[in-house]
Amino acid sequence: MDQEDCRMIVEPIFLTVLGLLIFSIALCIIRVFKGPTAPDRVVGLDTINTLVIVGMIVFGIATISVIYIDVAIVYALLSYISTLFIAKYLEGGEF
């Protein structure tokens, strides 16, 4: 009952927030396709990763389910590792 009450209050504003985050991700995708050099594309991918994490958290609170937030934590750590590896590859050093 109480949880239903909260869900009814919360849901539309969080879905609006999710739409705006997806619009921001679309702007980053334009940069990923347009970027003149390779680091530009990596910056775009890193920004997309952070926005996807925030979007997962917002979706988790919109539909009251904790599993999306757990997935967001794991996604944050994996995207950090992938960003470090791509940066190391661009740098051209040894591992």
As measured in angstroms, the least distance from the Cβ of 29 to another protein is 9
Q: Is 59 in the site for another protein (CB under 8 A)?
A: no
Backbone angles phi, psi at 63, to 5 degrees: -105, 105
Q: Which conformational region is residue 63 in: left (phi greater than 0), alpha (psi within -120 to 50 degrees), or beta?
A: beta
Q: Is 21 in the site for another protein (CB under 8 A)?
A: yes
Among 8, 15, 33, 91, binds another protein (CB under 8 A): 91
Contact partners, residue 49, CB within 8 Å, separation at least 6:
75, 76, 79, 83
Among 12, 15, 33, 40, binds another protein (CB under 8 A): 40
Q: Which of 44, 46, 38 is nearest to 76 (CA)?
A: 46
List residues near another protein by CB under 8 A: 2-3, 6, 9-10, 13-14, 17, 20-21, 23-28, 30-31, 37-40, 42-44, 46-47, 50-51, 53-54, 57-58, 60-61, 64, 66, 69-70, 72-73, 76-77, 79-80, 83-84, 86-88, 90-94
